[in-house]
Structure formats: structure tokens, C-alpha cells
Structure 1
Amino acid sequence: MTTAAPAGRRVRRLRPETRWAYIFMVPWLVGLLVFQLGPMIASLALSFADYDLISAPRFTGLDNYARMLEDDKVARAVGNTALYTALHVPLAVVLALVLALVLNRITGRAAGAFRTIFYLPSMTPYVAVGVLFLFLLNGQAGMVNDFLALFGISGPQWTTDPDWILPGIVLMSLWNLGSTTIILFAALRNVPRELAEAAMIDGAGPWQRFRSVTLPMISSALFFVVIINTITSLQMFDQVYTMFFGNQIAQQSSGDAALFYVVYLFQQAFQFLHMGYASALAWLLFLVIAVITLIQVKVGNRLVYYEAEEHAG
């Protein structure tokens, strides 16, 4: 005869698959603690200190954050980054949507090839993209100005004229639209055909069908790519640093026109060894991205159509 174990001694046994799931999660948890959460906590502590990697950190309170208010380069970097984001995100989303619509109309054996071609630019390393566009945007011998010359347009000095450096960077950033295009293409493929056919029977034209049927059905995907592109734009670094800060001559010719926030953060950390100040800059960027994302989520929830909620209602 068996007796039940006392309540205080009961041990809940895990099922084998659950135990293995925890075992496989251990490397990820270690990586999260050692390479993400640990450095984040350390940088938060360093943001309240003066640290140059040589001497021991010295606690300075809020001095690093107060310094940002007086640093003219921070204001310039924030302005450049904000303007770039305001230009890049709408252009990238609209152009990616146009490319996705084109892909959606291509059928047959050529469909797979075109999808691959549209996505391939996203596989190019950012440093290589920066070097490529350094030549393409050359004011004297660049292919972009050569193309404009075919229409009788005299192209600007994209890499040396302070008024045209930021538009040139925006133009360069449109190279990597593959991921956004594929996400929107997948959303378009999930739009029920019967909805468009019903709208056509009711007499709706192409634009009316796109506005009243297609856009609402892909609004969740649009909302997602807007958030992702906004976060990516606010952290713009690789291409800009390669083009304008990789050598002294390019840096002097561009001045502060190409000074983005993360570029300035990188300079403070690894060029001037102001690790405490760089940590404060990093945490300010983190808070700004978090606030902007929360605002986008609040606004987006009112505009995005969720089919599951419609069925539940």
C-alpha cells in the first residue's frame, strides 16, 4: 500500500521535453546575462562616472548628463539624426511598398528570381555599401551625377557640399530595402482575393480597392516596418562612418554635416576614451527610442486593423 507524500515534501517533476527545453535555453540565458544585461548595467553605472579605460572610474553624479545640454555637437548630431529619420522612414516604406506591389504582380517561374534580386542588396555588408556609394556619389565622376547629366541636370557635390551630404546619405540608405520589401510582400500575399473581387463587383476602381481593402489588410505589417525602420534610422552608423569618418580628408570636408548621434557616441568612447560620457549618450538614445516606440504603438493601435479583433467583436 502506497501513501501520498506529505504536502511539504512534494516535488513537482518536470516532463522530459520541458527539462530539455530548459537545458537548451541555458546558452541563450548565459549570453543574455554576459553579453547584454551585464554590459547594459555596467554602462548605466559608468554613465554617472568619469572613466577613460586607464584609471579607475570616478563617480561624478549627473555631470555627464548635464554636459550633454552644453555640448553643441550633441545638438548637431541629434538634429542630423532626426532629419535623416524623418526623410528615410517615409521614403523607405513607400518605396518598399511599391516594390512589394510589383513583386506581387509577377507570377510564374520568374517570381522567385525577382524576389531574390530584390532581396540581394540587403545581404551586402554596410561597410561595403558605404564604400560603394562613396564612388557612386562622387561629384566629379560618380554614376549618380552621370545619370542626372543625361537629363541635362548638373549633379551636386554629394560628399563635400554640406547642404547635400544628408540627402546623399538618405539616397544611399534606400539601397537596403530588401527586408522591408519582403515583409510587405508577404503581407500582400495574405490579403484575401475575395475582398478585392467583392470590391470590384461593387464598382471600386484600382485606387479605391488599394485604399479600402489592401491598405487596411496590410496595416499591421506597415506598422511593424515603420517601427523597425525608425529604430534602425536612429542608430545609423556603419555607412556614414565608412564614407565620412574613415579617413581624415573626408572628415574635414564633411564637417559636422554627416555627424550622426551614434557616430558621435563612438568618437567619444573609442577616439577620446570618454567612456562615462559615451555611456550617458547611449542611455539617452535608449530612452529616446523607447519613448518614440511607445508613442508609435499608442498611435498605431488606433490606426491598425487587426483581423482577429474584428472576428472577436
Structure 2
Amino acid sequence: MAPSVKRPTADRRQGRAAYVFLTPWLLGLCLVTAIPLAASLYLAFTDYNILSTPNFTGFDNFERMLGDERFWASSSVTARYVLVSVPLQLMFALLLAVLLDRGVRGLSFYRGAFYLPSLLGASVAIAVLWREVFGHHGLINDALALIGIEGQSWLQNPSTALSTLIVLNVWTFGSPMVIFLAGLRQIPEEYYEAARVDGASRVRQFWHITVPILTPIIFFNLILQTIGAFQTFTQAHVISGGTGGPVDSTLFYTLYVYQQGFKAFDMGYASALAWVLLLVIGAVTAVHFFLSKYWVFYGDD
């Protein structure tokens, strides 16, 4: 009897159907990600102002960064923002997740209410609201006036302007909090019961049971929030009016890339700046993964 050929034909049909469904994603990958990424890599080695043909200049754009004071200023502002806001945000998110995990009535409401800032935190509307809250006649100064303290213009003071943006990022703790809460729900209650029998306090239970078991989730949130912090743009642009002021105290790296590309029309230099940011994010992520083997504990460890 001749072998059946229906099976290979069916497999080919399923394969073609899979490619049909994948086509929108593949088109998006090529048109929105791969081609612009390759184009920006080429432009990083050119002098290009949009109106003229790109002129290949080699590594001139990257050498220019070494003497660019605003490049170093924006790098410093971004580094401080990431190093301060990300740990504070994760600690605050974990603290609230632990509190909500203790059987708070109306958990669904609180979970949704706390998650809402994560959805709105990067929006223009929230940035405008933040500007009003911390303005010279904003709510913060009004509250201080009630107790006899004269406020200041928090956004116009170089020593406090960046701090207001850090507070804004910490306020968007909802997303990591929900992930932490899901992780807490997976910890067996037997671990805590055994610890209580041994006389361990809640603090010791937290540090010796909760934190070690949650380290994979802490690591996951750390990677996501670090990458997001490096890419922060909207808040600084709205609050500073696109200048990064006062005195470049809110000049985030992404804002400087925007200024070079869409204000100075120096697309070649802006592309080089963008690629440096990509490499830095990749390097920081690689360091996190390397160090994770010393503090992240999985179930089979």
C-alpha cells in the first residue's frame, strides 16, 4: 500500500497558516524596529541634518561626546535618577505588597487603585499635574503654609528639581507591587507556621523567608524598572518645558537626544547618543544578570 501523503500536506497547511498569522508581527518587527535600528546605526557615523544627504564621518560623533559637557551632565542626571528612584520604588512596592498580602478587606479595590499610577505616570497629564503640585503656588507649598513653613519653587531650584521627578517615579509603584503581590501569594504558609513555632519574629520571617523566595521576582522587577528609568523622557520634558532646566538639573539623557535630533536637527549625533544609551542599558542589564547568581535563589538552589 502506498504511504499516505495527507499528513505532510496538513503540516504544510498549518505552517502556512502560522506564517499568515505571524505576518503582522513580522512586518512590525521589520518596519518599526529592525529597519529604523539599522538606519540609526548608519546615521550614528554620519553628519546628517535631515535636509541634506548624510555625510559619512566615521567615529567623529562618538569622539565629540568626550568633550560635550551637556552629554556628561545628562549622563550624570540620568545615573542619579536610576540609582535613587529604582531602589526606592521597589522597596515601596514590596512594602505595600506585604501589607496588602495580610488579608486586607477590599483587596481588589486597593490593588487597582495602587496600580493606576503605573498606567498614568508616564503621561503628559500627570507630568502637568506634578508641575502644578510642586510649583511655587502648588499644593505642597499650600500644605506647608498651614504649619507656618514658607515653601519654595521646587521645580525652579536645581537642588530639588530632580528630586521631584524621583518622587514621581516612586509614585508609579503599582506595576512592581502587583507582581510582588502575585509572588507573595505563591509562598507556602507552612514556611511561616514553622518559623512561628521556632519563635521567629515577623521581621526575621520577612528577611529569612519572604525575601529569599521573592528574589527571582525582585530581580525581574529590577531589570524592568531599571530599563524604564533609563528611558524616562515625558516627565522631564513637560516639567522643564523641554529645556532640561533649571541649569540642566533635569536634563535626562533621552531629553538630550531629543534636543539634538529634533531641535538642533543633528540627527547623526542624536543617533550616536541613542546607540550609546542602548549599549549602556545592555551593559547594565548584563551586569545585573552576572551578579544575580550571588543573590537570586531559585527553587532548585
TM bracket, shorter-chain basis: over 0.9
* Partner of residue 47, structure 1: 44
Q: Secondary structure of the residue that 1:297 maps to in structure 2? A: helix
Q: How many residues align?
A: 298
- The equivalent of 1:164 in structure 2 is 160
Query: Secondary structure of 2:11's match?
Result: coil
Q: Which residue of structure 1 lines up, in the alignment, with residue 286 of structure 2?
A: 294
Partner Cα distance (1:79, 1:37) in 2: 30
Report the Cα distance in structure 1 between the residues aligned to 2:21 and 2:44, rounded to whole angstroms.
35
Match of 1:188 in 2: 184
Q: Does residue 112 of the first structure (1) align with residue 108 of the second (2)?
A: yes
Structure 1 position 205, deviation (Å) = 0.6
Q: Gaps spanning 5+ residues in structure 1: where?
A: 6-10
- Identity percentage of aligned residues: 39
**Residues 156, 164 of structure 1: 8 Å contact kept:** no
For 1:300, the aligned partner's letter is S
RMSD: 2.0
Q: Which residue number in structure 1 is paired with residue 237 of structure 2?
A: 241
Change (3 A) 1:130 1:2: same
Superposition pairs of residues 241-260 of structure 1, within 5 angstroms: 241-246=237-242, 251=243, 254-260=246-252
Please tell me whether the aligned partners of residues 130 and 243 of structure 1 are also in contact (alpha carbons under 8 angstroms). Answer: yes
Write the distance in 1 (CA, Å) between the matches of 2:297 and 2:2: 58
- The structural deviation recorded for 1:18 is 4.5
- The one-letter amino acid of 2:2's match is T
TM-score (norm 1): 0.89
Per-residue deviation, 1:91: 0.7
Output one character per residue of 1:43-63: Cα deviation in whole Å (capped at 9) or x when no partner.
000000011111111100000
| TM-score between both structures, scaled by the size of structure 2 | 0.93
CA apart distance, 1:204: 0.7
Per-residue CA deviation, residues 5-32 of structure 1 (Å, 9 max, x unaligned), is 9xxxxx7862654543332111101110
Gaps of 5+ in 2: none
Partner residue of 2:82 out of 78, 81, 85: 85
* Amino acid across the alignment from 1:123: L
Match of 1:262 in 2: 254
The verdict on how the C-alpha distance between 1:287 and 1:12 changes in structure 2, with shifts beyond 3 A counting, is: farther
Q: 2-side partners of 1:306 and 1:194: how far apart? A: 18
The answer to whether the aligner puts 1:271 opposite 2:263 as a matched pair is yes
Q: Which one of the candidate residues 290, 293, 297 is aligned to 1:305?
A: 297
- Change in CA separation of 1:295 and 1:178 when aligned onto 2, cut-off 3 Å: same
